[in-house]
Amino acid sequence: MSDKAFHGNFFEDFTLGQEIRHATPRTVTEGDAALYTALTGSRFALHSSADFAASLGLEEAPLDDLLVFHLVFGKSVPDISLNAVANLGYAECRFGIPVYPGDTLTAYSRVIGLKQTSAGTTGIVYVQTTGVNQLGEAVLDFKRWVLVNKRDPEAPAPETEVPELSEAVAAGELVLPVGLTCAGYDAELAGSPHFWEDYAPGERIDHGDAMTLEEAEHQMATRLYQNTARVHFDQLAANDNRFGRRIVYGGHVMSLARALSFNGLGNAFRIAAINGGRHVSPTFAGHTLFAWSEVLEKRELPGREDLGAMRLRTLATKDRPCADFPDKDAEGKADPAVVLELDYTVLIPRRG
């Protein structure tokens, strides 16, 4: 027998400053885009139509931002989080150069923080992961931190280093695609009459629609991203976990919440940044997802009168409509139906 199969890195395998090149390189295609539509029902015009993309000054329809996120994230899983007890959070996620069919994505991560937990059997690993295209241009950059098991509980603790993380990506750091213009934005074709000017901080939007999840769907999505985290695929092992179920990849929940948000945010055509996110509780096949959003902040973009940025907080719930905006209670405890809380920044056209 041999030990050629890889069982993932443990806490003591990571060192501060370490850089890890991830497998598997991926040439993205119109096939990936079609599957993303079939799996999420997304209707944002920019990603759906080459002609609409051209009307915004782009060469063709770029891949959905979250599809890019999942592909890059998926590459990091075997090296970073295969032995994760928990995905604790992510921050400073910034989308770069748009990704077009035919581009080839690769990814690498740098270890930017380490902290052994007090129990001594696990530790927190902080990484910065970057996805690049075939020209080496960054398409995505994010930080995340995961709680990882130690292989040997007796292994010495590394020096503690906890990186400082911004609460949100600053407006000046957002990447605007080269050539992007909303001067001729066709809101009717895009499917929403609401522009940047029409939203107000504090405004809450119930997205109204709903989507019931199936095992085959989340498995296909997660495999499309070549994400190998076993909890999404192995029902035999799941029979013995505390849920008894395969856990839906949190990114699939993000994508469904984003697709549901079209109804109310149909012109928010690009996610420019994800400031933070929490998978509040696990989602399983059979759950019906709903979503609502709160406008946290509106930001002007320097020198741009055709588009603005908007910071949003979108919550997804399971088996519970969002007409009354389920959220934290007085003690700050999340409503038990909430499965996702996502803080992100979108680009949206102005009336000019």
Residue 198: CB minimum distance to its own copies, A: 8
Distance of CA 301 to CAs 15, 98, 171, 209, 307, Å?
39, 19, 7, 31, 7
Site string for its own copies, 317-336 (x = CB under 8 A): --x-x---x-----------
Which CB sits closer to its own copies, 120 or 193?
A: 193
Q: CA-CA distance, 162 to 67, in Å (whole number)?
A: 29
Query: Residue 343 interacts with its own copies (CB under 8 A)?
Result: no
Q: State phi, psi for 164 to the nearest 5 degrees.
A: -80, 135
Residues 6+ apart with CB under 8 A from 214: 285, 286
Side chain identity, residue 119: A
Which CB sits closer to its own copies, 153 or 193?
A: 193
Which CB sits closer to its own copies, 7 or 328?
A: 7
* Chain residues 79-98 in contact with its own copies, contact rule CB under 8 A: none
Ramachandran class of 230: left when φ > 0, alpha when ψ lies in -120 to 50, beta otherwise:
alpha
Which CB sits closer to its own copies, 232 or 278?
A: 232
Helix (H) / strand (E) containing 313: strand 307-318
Size of the site for its own copies (CB under 8 A): 85
Residue 90: CB minimum distance to its own copies, A: 23
Residue 230: CB minimum distance to its own copies, A: 6
* Chain residues 113-152 in contact with its own copies, contact rule CB under 8 A: 134
Q: Which stretch binds its own copies (CB under 8 A): 21-29, 90-98, 173-181, 343-351?
A: 21-29
Q: Which stretch binds its own copies (CB under 8 A): 90-98, 166-174, 177-185, 199-207?
A: 199-207
Residue 106: CB minimum distance to its own copies, A: 7
Which CB sits closer to its own copies, 163 or 282?
A: 282
Residues 6+ apart with CB under 8 A from 343: 168, 274, 275, 276, 277, 296, 311, 312, 313
Q: State phi, psi for 97 to the nearest 5 degrees.
A: -55, 135
* Chain residues 242-261 in contact with its own copies, contact rule CB under 8 A: 246
* Chain residues 159-188 in contact with its own copies, contact rule CB under 8 A: 188
* Chain residues 25-84 in contact with its own copies, contact rule CB under 8 A: 25-27, 29-35, 37-41, 43-45, 48-52, 61, 78
Q: Which residue has the tokens 């946290």?
A: 296
End-to-end CA distance of the chain: 68
Q: CA-CA distance, 133 to 99, in Å (whole number)?
A: 8
DSSP state of 334: B
